[in-house]
Amino acid sequence: MNRLATLLPAAALAGSTLSAVPADHPRRALLLTLLRNLAAGIEKYQDPATGPRFQVVDKGSHGDNWTETYGSAMFTFALSRSVQQGYLDAHYAQVAQRGYQGVLEKISVGGDGRTSLTDISIGTNAGNYNYCINRDRKTNGFHGLGALLIMNEQLRAR
C-alpha cells in the first residue's frame, strides 16, 4: 500500500510548521524536498474525475475503492497553504482546488435542513487492501468535520 496515507499529519502541518523552521536550519532543505515529493504523490493519485484522494491512495483504479473525505481535506489544506507560503509551485493551487471541490461534493443537505459530510474513514491504520476498503464510512465524524473546517478556512476565499 502507498505510504501517502500515513503522512496525513505531516501534510497537515507542512505549511505552518515550515514557517517556524529557520531558513538556515540544516534540515530545512530536506523538509522542503519531502513536502515537494508528497505533493507530487498527492497530485499523481488524486481522483481525476472528482478531486479527492482514494481510501487506498494508489489503488484508484480498483472498482471497490472509494474517495475519502478526511484525508482529502487535510492534503488539500496542506497543498494550498504550502503554495501560499511559497514552498510549492503555483500549479499545486489547481490540485488543491480540485480536492476542495471534491470534498465539497461530499456535503449534502437533508430534508430536515441539516448538513451532512459523508465518506469519512474511521481510524484507518496501515493494513491490507481489504481491511482499508472495508473500513466504516462515517457521516459527520468529528475528525472529518474538523478537517473540512480547516480546509475550508484555507481555500474558501481563493
Q: What secondary structure letter does DSSP report for 133?
A: H
The candidate with the shortest Cα–Cα distance to 60, out of 100, 8, 5, is 5
**Residue extents of the structural domains in the chain:** 3-155
pLDDT reported for residue 136: 87
pLDDT reported for residue 11: 55
What CATH fold (topology level) applies to the domain 3-155? Glycosyltransferase (1.50.10)
Grid cell of 71 as nine digits: 484525508
Calculate helix-pair angle for 8-18, 28-45, nearest 10 degrees. Answer: 130
How far apart are alpha carbons 110 and 78 in whole angstroms?
30
Q: What is the mean pLDDT of residues 101-112?
A: 95
pLDDT reported for residue 104: 97
pLDDT reported for residue 13: 57
pLDDT reported for residue 128: 85
Q: What is the mean pLDDT of residues 70-75?
A: 92
Alpha-helical runs (H) found in the chain: 8-18, 28-45, 69-84, 92-104, 129-133, 142-155
Other CB atoms within a 10 A radius of the CB of residue 131 amount to: 13
Other CB atoms within a 10 A radius of the CB of residue 26 amount to: 7
Mean pLDDT of all residues belonging to the chain = 87
Residue that the C-alpha cell 443537505 belongs to: 109
pLDDT reported for residue 108: 96
Helix (H, G, I), strand (E, B) or coil at 115: strand
pLDDT reported for residue 22: 87
With a cut of 70, say whether residue 4 has pLDDT above it: no
Q: What secondary structure letter does DSSP report for 76?
A: H
Q: Which pLDDT band, with edges at 50, 70 and 90, does 105 fall under?
A: very high
Mean pLDDT check: name the lowest of 1-10, 23-32, 57-66, 116-125.
1-10
Residue that the C-alpha cell 507560503 belongs to: 85
Q: What is the mean pLDDT of residues 34-58?
A: 93
Mean pLDDT check: name the lowest of 3-7, 27-31, 56-60, 64-68.
3-7
pLDDT reported for residue 1: 40
How far apart are alpha carbons 107 and 69 in whole angstroms?
10
With a cut of 60, say whether residue 42 has pLDDT above it: yes
